[in-house]
Amino acid sequence: MTVNATILSKPQVKNAGKLLAVLAAAALLFAAFLLANGADPLAIYSNMISSTLFTPYGIGEVLIKSTPLILIAVGTCISAKAGLVNVGGEGQFAIGALFSTAAGLSIGDSLPSFMGIVVMMLAGVFGGAIWSGVAGILKIRANMNETLTTLIMNYIAYQIVSYFVFNDLKDPDSFNWPQTAKIAHSLRLPRIAGKINLGILIALAAAVIVWLLVRKTKWGYSLRIVGGNANAALHAGINVEMVQIVAMLLSGALAGLAGAIEIAGVEERLRQTTGVNYGYLGFLAAWMAWNDPAVAVLTAAVIGFLSVSGNVLEISSGLPSSAISILMAIVLFAILWKGKGRKSE
């Protein structure tokens, strides 16, 4: 049908098909691992699916876990379209969470709920964009490898967070725990159902906007040209440096927004461990989607499901919940093998 053609392009349908094939192959390999450890893979997979996708609690946990992963994955896709490898979602998330927490604690109950939440979200966006912007400038002006700089900046970001939760933003009533006070109740994201908050709708809306930006705008066309061949884009009159710096800013802004949503919708305060590993899982989700922002929503949900179902795996098989990381690793290697020599669409 014509409508379907406008919603999903042939490359996206192809990407989704390849993703399903890769996931099926990974599931078979992980089943062999379970059998080798004396576990019944069919029973375990059945329990993982029924406990997470067929109960209100499980669905809620998957959506909550998937929300930041969607934003970070979609942001990673933007920078990848510009030919940049942004591994810094972890640090950009952390700085976004820090900025939004600082804004929330400063605001308190002084603003109406809607305005206060918007200020917190914008603060997170600003923090994430600043952090990714630094890496972008180092790439453009100093020709530093963005993969290394964003990776190193992840560690710096969490050291900065540690400083503030131990010092300036530390809750005096926390019994010496390194955490901030809770944000005001009026600044918490509204709940949709159960524990599910408005963040999931914000993440999905952001994904749609990014898809439209990349696929339907002149800037998106320039972005794809730069990512495909920067030298050809330069000869075509495209400002490659500007396209790349804007891509990095947008990528970090989305990760920072994820940090703000985590504070306002889930954690309600900043801790040293807030959002740890979200950035790396979001990067994995983008790779699984071959840097297609539409498919990245699906892959982020898959990783969210796997993360939540790790506890079910532990109960069903006797293996530690961290064993789910083996399945994620298998998926990653399958993606790398399937995508060898392949450029993102």
pLDDT at 17: 74
pLDDT at 15: 66
pLDDT-derived band of residue 8, with 50, 70 and 90 as boundaries? Answer: low
pLDDT-derived band of residue 331, with 50, 70 and 90 as boundaries? Answer: confident
How far, CA to CA in Å, does 58 sit from each of 67, 70, 195, 301, 303? Answer: 14, 18, 11, 13, 14
- 181 has pLDDT over 70: yes
Q: Domain locations in the chain?
A: 60-338
> CB neighbours (10 Å) of residue 49?
14
The one-letter amino acid at 239: N
pLDDT at 3: 40
pLDDT at 314: 77
- 342 has pLDDT over 60: no
Q: What is the mean pLDDT of the chain?
A: 90
Which one is predicted more confidently, 288 or 251?
251
pLDDT-derived band of residue 325, with 50, 70 and 90 as boundaries? Answer: confident
Q: Specify the pTM.
A: 0.91
The values of phi and psi at residue 268, to 5°, are 70, 0
How far, CA to CA in Å, does 93 sit from each of 7, 23, 86, 123, 251? Answer: 30, 27, 13, 12, 10
- 312 has pLDDT over 80: no
pLDDT at 5: 42
Which one is predicted more confidently, 165 or 316?
165
Distance between CA 203 and CA 66 in Å, rounded? 9
Distance between CA 302 and CA 8 in Å, rounded? 19
Rg (CA), the chain: 20
Nearest to 139, CA basis, from 131, 129, 149: 149
Q: For 122-154, how does the pLDDT look when each residue is reduced to its tens digit (9 = 90+)? A: 999 999 999 999 999 999 999 999 999 999 999
Average pLDDT of 291-312? 90
Share of the chain above pLDDT 70, in %: 93
Q: Which range is least confidently modeled, 10-14, 27-31, 117-121, 161-165?
A: 10-14
Sign, Cα dihedral of 58, 276, 198, 213 = negative
Distance between CA 316 and CA 48 in Å, rounded? 9
Q: For 257-289, how does the pLDDT look when each residue is reduced to its tens digit (9 = 90+)? A: 999 999 999 999 999 999 999 999 999 999 888
pLDDT-derived band of residue 327, with 50, 70 and 90 as boundaries? Answer: confident
Average pLDDT of 246-260? 98
Share of the chain above pLDDT 90, in %: 71
Average pLDDT of 170-193? 93
pLDDT at 344: 46
Instruction: Decide: 291 and 76 in contact? Cβ < 8 Å.
Output: yes
pLDDT-derived band of residue 25, with 50, 70 and 90 as boundaries? Answer: confident
HSE-up of 56 (CA within 13 Å, CB side)? 5
Tokens of 210: 């990014």
Q: Is 269 in a helix, a strand, or coil?
A: coil
Which one is predicted more confidently, 20 or 271?
271
Q: Which residues of 261-281 are buried (b: 16+ CB within 10 A; e: fewer)?
A: bbbbbbbbbbbbebbeebbeb
HSE-up of 297 (CA within 13 Å, CB side)? 15
Average pLDDT of 302-328? 82
Which one is predicted more confidently, 110 or 335?
110
> CB neighbours (10 Å) of residue 321?
15
Which DSSP letter does residue 179 get? B
Sign, Cα dihedral of 140, 142, 143, 147 = negative
pLDDT at 95: 98
Average pLDDT of 74-88? 97
Per CATH, domain 60-338 is 1.10.3470: yes
Q: Which range is least confidently modeled, 37-41, 220-224, 266-270?
A: 37-41
Instruction: Decide: 282 and 255 in contact? Cβ < 8 Å.
Output: yes
Distance between CA 272 and CA 178 in Å, rounded? 7
Which one is predicted more confidently, 54 or 342?
54
Tokens of 299: 């892959």
